[in-house]
Structure 1
Amino acid sequence: MPSPIDLKQLMEAVGDAVMVADASGAITLWNPAAERMFGYTQSEALGQSLDIIIPQRQQQRHWDGYHKTMQTGQTRYGSDVLRVPAVHKDGHTLSIAFTVALLHSADQKVSGIAAVVRDETSRFAEERNLRKRLMELESQLATQDAPS
């Protein structure tokens, strides 16, 4: 088992955001990569609701699923990578991908959720541009191949 110092070093060194929220959705762990990704310092984020990074239009859906997971101890996502929008402190939108892990108390009740998050905003934009370009090229080919 790694020592606490090793875990602290890992949380500070890893390039992906690592965050933990308790059963109520309050942030209890926020590593330096989360600071860089979302713009909130650790002191600003700790104790705050996850709403600080969830777009307003997604919040109800998020909390419905979150509270159900806390009640049932089950998540339908398991080790699946989730891709959703998020919000930076300055208001700009991010495209993030993350995995979640349920955390349990000594009596095996779900006590929170850990997430490892990657900012995929640039990759998402590149893929969107490539799809757009492909559609344009296919349209041009269809026009050229059309009988006169």
Structure 2
Amino acid sequence: MTAPTDLNARILDDIADALIYADRSGSIVRWNRAATALFGYSAQEALGHNLDLIIPEHLRAAHWKGFDAAIASGAMKLQGRPTLTRAQHKSGRKLYIEMTFALVKDFQGEVLGSAAIARDVTERVERERGKK
């Protein structure tokens, strides 16, 4: 029988959507195989790095304002609701991604970090906007 933590890790690694977990400071702690496929960075390249790795420069100030407010307040406007945003691939190519965010809290309700599930929707968005 597989231990629950081993099973949890296998599930997170094998889901089709990118999973990124960052601690309170915004350092990447969890990066699954789908995140590697989506953003181009291996787990070894991403782990321990700041989320700026995948955030286009022009969106960073707004991202960190929202991130810091969510960490401090323990609540986020987008909790559980998908949102369309831009991200950056390792190659520098800009992506349209649909992301869902959640704060991760300990048993006392203290915020430990933030998890995001991401899916590439670049092709769909460009088709809808008449770019393809």
TM range, smaller chain: over 0.9
Q: CA deviation at 1:106?
A: 3.6
Moved over 4 A (4+): none
Per the alignment, residue 30 of structure 1 pairs with 31
Cross-structure match for 2:18: 17
Q: What residue number does 1:110 align with?
A: 111
1:5 aligned onto 2:6: yes
Q: Counterpart in 2 of 1:146?
A: none
1:49 aligns with 2:63: no
Q: Structure 2: how far apart are the matches of 1:48 and 1:16? A: 20
Richer in helix (by share) = 1
Using the size of structure 2 for normalisation, the TM-score is: 0.93
**Partner-residue secondary structure (3-state), 1:89:** coil
Matching residue of 2:69 = 68
Aligned positions of 1:79-90 closer than 5 A: 79-90=80-91
The percent identity for this pair of structures is 36
Separation (CA, whole Å) in 2 of partners of 1:31 and 1:124: 24
Q: What is the alpha-carbon root mean square deviation over aligned residues? A: 1.5
Aligned to 2:128: 127
Measured after TM superposition, the shift of residue 12 of structure 1 is 2.1
Matches within 5 A, 1:85-100: 85-100=86-101
TM-score by length of 1: 0.83
User: Which shows bigger deviation, 37-46 or 74-83?
Assistant: 74-83
Q: Which residue identity lines up with residue 12 of structure 1 in the other structure?
A: D
Q: Deviations over 1:5-50 (max 9, x none)?
A: 2212212211100010000000000000000100000011001000
Which ranges of structure 1 fall in alignment gaps of 5 or more residues?
Answer: 133-148
1:77 lines up with 2:74 in the alignment: no
- Indicate the structure (1 or 2) with the bigger Cα radius of gyration: 1
Please give the per-residue CA displacement for 1:92-145, whole angstroms capped at 9, x wherever unaligned.
00000011111012432111001110000111111111xx8xxxxxxxxxxxxx
- Please give the alpha-carbon distance, in whole angstroms, between the structure 2 residues aligned to 1:8 and 1:77: 25
Distance 1:88 1:99 in 2: 18
Q: Secondary structure at the match of 2:129?
A: helix
Number of aligned residue pairs: give it: 130
